[in-house]
Amino acid sequence: MGTLIQFKNVSKRYSSHLVLDNLNFEIEDKDIFGIIGLSGSGKTTILNTLIGFIKSNGGQIIYGSSDISKDKRRIEQIVGFATQSCSFYNKLTVEENLHYFGKLYNMNRAETIKRIDELLPLVELESSKKVLAKNLSTGMSRRLDIACAMIHHPKVLILDEPTEDLDPVLRREILKLIRKINTEEGTTIIITSHLLNEIEAICTKIAILHKGKIIRSGTPNELKDMYTKNQEIHLRTSPGRYDPIINYLKKTTDITDIMNQGNKMVIYTKDAEKVLQDLLNVLAKNNEKLIDIDVNRPSLEEVFTFFTRQK
């Protein structure tokens, strides 16, 4: 696929407060690239710098082979941006909003109509094109906002907290739409969110932003390997007398850590298959009935917490 966007030594300072500190990272073509960080870490500042809404105090943002950080017209051509709050007009219909945004991007009427015919089925708003925006449901409003950001067929779509304030069902619908846009339109997507389980599920690459710096980046599995190569075995049994089981399992070198969490036992190991064989034997010897067992890698939340606490 190749590198599409590069941040090279990008810094942003507000008076004496350094928000972005010589950022260096790359986004590949057709990535779904997640940026995660604590509140106030600079996530939205990165997005606003990329779209030219604010100017950096130094560095370059390279798109392809050219620096776009000082070329607002070029940015508008290649980037679509959907903010946390809706940017469409409530007194216009879905269709009228899309026509209006087409005009903002200097599209002629024919190409706008063609693009609307492509977008409405993509965002599942075909049957609502004559509905006033103010009468749309929350989920439909979010889909319209994304459609408005995509009217000019941008190469890059930026989504700032796209599932903010949505219920679980609507969040799943928006995540499904994001995947659809990425695969069917071939759009590179940059997304911020504090819902790390969603970022882990949808993103091909993730960058951890902390105190103005990218402290780690990579695929979800690469980030987990930076934290630990262990697997986690989560186990619940009845009657749940875990201490004798723990004492037995600690004798094997295949376990790096083991914890009794009261209602379950958590085992960390690099060889889950072998440990599971030993585990089933010791459960039988201790008259423990297996209720639930799950083998996983550490969650992105664990990884994020570990790395942000180290700095």
Kindly tell me the sign of the dihedral angle through the C-alpha atoms of 66, 184, 131, 146.
negative
The domain at 3-218 falls in which architecture? 3-Layer(aba) Sandwich (3.40)
**CA angle, 254 then 277 then 240, to 5°:** 90
Would you say residue 253 has pLDDT above 70?
no
Residue 256's nearest CA partner among 270, 242, 235 is: 270
Q: Does 76 score more than 60 pLDDT?
A: yes
Which H or E run includes 174?
helix 168-184
- pLDDT per residue as tens digits for the range 45-68: 999 999 988 999 999 999 988 888
**Averaged pLDDT, 133-145:** 94
User: Element (H or E) spanning 207, and its range?
Assistant: strand 205-210
State the pLDDT at residue 153.
Answer: 96
**Whole-prediction pTM value?**
0.85
Per-residue 3-state assignment (H helix, E strand, C coil) for 90-155: CCCEHHHHHHHHHHHCCCCHHHHHHHHHHHHHHCCCHHHCCCEHHHCCHHHHHHHHHHHHCCCCCC
221-252 confidence digits (pLDDT tens)? 999 989 888 888 898 999 989 888 888 888 87
**CATH assignment, 228-310:** 3.30.70
Q: Which residue has the higher pLDDT, 169 or 164?
A: 169
The whole-number pLDDT of residue 85 equals: 79
Q: How confident is the model at residue 311 (pLDDT cuts 50, 70, 90)?
A: low
* Higher pLDDT among residues 147 and 235, named by residue: 147
Helix (H, G, I), strand (E, B) or coil at 56: coil
Give the per-residue pLDDT at 105: 93
How much is the mean pLDDT over the chain? Answer: 91
Domain-wise residue ranges, the chain: 3-218, 228-310
